[in-house]
Chain A
Amino acid sequence: MRTANLQDQNELIRASNRPRGRFQIFSGQTGESSGGMGGGEDNHQRFARLVLPHLGDAYSLARWITANRTDAEDIVQEASLRAFRAIASVAEGNSRAWLLTIVCNTAYTWLRNNRPSALVIVDDLEAVERTQVATTDLDRETPETALIAKTDAASLETAVAELPPAYRETLVLRDVQGLGYREISQVTGVPIGTVMSRLARGRARVIKTIGGKSL
């Protein structure tokens, strides 16, 4: 299942193009018709209120996706610029999920342009999620809790970093950054059922890795 053929890889690359679409969902009615909402507040003030408070979350997500601090900073800057361009028309509401959506999009665009290999080494996730039910990740063969509890920070970080990107981003958004399922669904652009499945599988893989169980 790790040997995705060329066609699968193309599909994966195409699939990873989707974040562009996700962004559209949120900045939907962008256009140039920036209505005068929020009377008296200019774009910079709006940016300061809606975007700046979430830079920490943005940086954390970008760093987990790229596994590189310098790249993460570049991505946050680029994503902030994109957010700023859409700031006049973005709806009030969950600005953190909105910004993280842009960060996700920017990060995958960046990876596609700079490190395409990071995207194609993934299992054919979609196929796994569609057809393969509970044979590898979510089975009853799991390590003892006591073994898991003994892990150290470095092993845990490595295990999370080695997850396929889709599992990793879901797990990080939930367990490191504390987003709810609905927010994660917004940010990653997949249905809540997929979020749940990715989260459970991601956790199961990390638990098996740190528990020393090779299945």
Chain B
Amino acid sequence: MTRAASYEDAVLRVHAYVDGELDPANALGVEASMAADPALAAEHERIDVFRRLVREHLPREEPPLGLRARVEAAVGMRRARMQPSWRALAASIAVTAVVASGATSMLLAPSGTKTAREGIVDDHIRSLMASQPVDVTSSDRHTVKPWFNGRIPQSPRVVDLGKDFPLVGGRIDVVGGTPVPTLVYGHGKHLISLTAVSAAGHANSTPTLSEEGGYNIVRWTEGEVTYWAVSDTSAPELEKFAESFRAAPPDR
């Protein structure tokens, strides 16, 4: 037993040696014991190989996009505006009335208490706080687009925007009582929600930037669809996203 115990002790020291936890004097002692005992030398070699394998095969997994935003929301660093102040509410309705003058009546909720803008921002925030910001997770537009088929009347235009704005997936939001498709793209550590709302009969419009509850919003209408891009990424980046999306070739 004492013999076994001292061997075990020697093994622990070899591990500590590999891990750089020994002071020079003890390190010298381990080197001497490895020179004297082939079993310890072999243990040293195995630990080295093992650590190399872990470095190669088990890299630290990066947290999912949106976790940081979710944590920030949980501790109140981002306002998840459930009870908007009167001022903000009034202002946002006014802004919406001006900017969205051409938008469909659907964009204003019947009660008038929650604008499409707020609804879309709320959906974005809620998605960040959920365990998954998307209902279908895929970077392949040929997976995401068909997912919408059969769930909602019209599946959205889904385009691949390359590595700057990788496609994360899609989900269905509800705006003004109507289910609408939302695509989620990544951008660095940020997520961008792109909601497509039917705008039959409306003329095309160029992207307009606004801000709601700390989130940037870019909105434009194209092909009788109004697109709302919401994100906490910077305004110029979000505008760049909108331009990339608009410039992308059709998805067929």
| Chain A contacts to B: CB under 8 angstroms | 44, 47-48, 52, 55-60, 63, 69-70, 73-74, 76-77, 80-81, 84, 133-135, 138, 140, 142, 145, 148-149, 151-153, 156-157, 160, 174-177, 180-181, 196-197, 199-200, 203, 206-207, 210
Residue-by-residue, is B169-181 near A (CB-CB < 8 Å gives 1, otherwise 0)? 0000000000000
A-B contact count (CB 8 A): 121
Docked pose: A153 CA to B61 CA in angstroms: 13
Contact segment of B38-46, B94-102, B146-154: B38-46
Q: Is A160 a contact partner of B46 (Cβ separation < 8 A)? A: no
Q: Name the residue on B nearest A146 (C-beta).
A: B49
Docked pose: A111 CA to B77 CA in angstroms: 28
Residue A145 contacts which of B21, B49, B51 (CB distance < 8 angstroms)?
B49
Which residues on the A side are within 8 Å of B51 (C-beta)?
175
Which residues on the B side are within 8 Å of A73 (C-beta)?
63-64, 67, 70, 131
When A74-B131, A142-B42, A148-B46 are in contact, do A56 and B12 touch as well, CB less than 8 Å?
A: no
Min distance, Cβ B50 to any Cβ of chain A, angstroms: 6
Q: Which 10 A-B pairs have the closest CB atoms?
A: A153-B57, A134-B8, A59-B63, A134-B4, A84-B75, A80-B71, A175-B54, A70-B131, A200-B15, A196-B12
Known: A73-B67, A156-B54. 6 other contacts (CB 8 A): A47-B75, A73-B131, A84-B75, A153-B57, A153-B58, A196-B12
When A47-B77, A81-B74, A174-B19 are in contact, do A152 and B57 touch as well, CB less than 8 Å?
A: yes
Main secondary structure of the interface of A (DSSP, over half): helix
Q: Is A149 a contact partner of B53 (Cβ separation < 8 A)? A: yes
Q: Name the residue on A nearest B11 (C-beta).
A: A138
Q: Is A69 a contact partner of B67 (Cβ separation < 8 A)? A: no
Residue A148 contacts which of B8, B15, B49 (CB distance < 8 angstroms)?
B49
Docked pose: A60 CA to B70 CA in angstroms: 16
Q: Name the residue on B nearest A192 (C-beta).
A: B21
Docked pose: A32 CA to B58 CA in angstroms: 42
Q: Is A157 a contact partner of B57 (Cβ separation < 8 A)? A: yes
Q: Is A156 a contact partner of B8 (Cβ separation < 8 A)? A: no
Docked pose: A149 CA to B71 CA in angstroms: 39
Min distance, Cβ A69 to any Cβ of chain B, angstroms: 7
Residue A76 contacts which of B49, B67, B132 (CB distance < 8 angstroms)?
B67
Which residues on the A side are within 8 Å of B71 (C-beta)?
52, 55, 76-77, 80
Q: Is B12 a contact partner of A77 (Cβ separation < 8 A)? A: no
Query: What are 26 A-B interface contacts by the 8 Å CB criterion?
Result: A44-B77, A55-B63, A55-B68, A59-B61, A59-B63, A59-B67, A73-B70, A76-B63, A76-B71, A80-B75, A84-B75, A140-B7, A140-B39, A142-B43, A142-B46, A145-B42, A149-B49, A152-B57, A176-B54, A177-B60, A180-B21, A181-B19, A181-B21, A196-B12, A200-B11, A203-B50
Min distance, Cβ A90 to any Cβ of chain B, angstroms: 14
Min distance, Cβ B106 to any Cβ of chain A, angstroms: 34
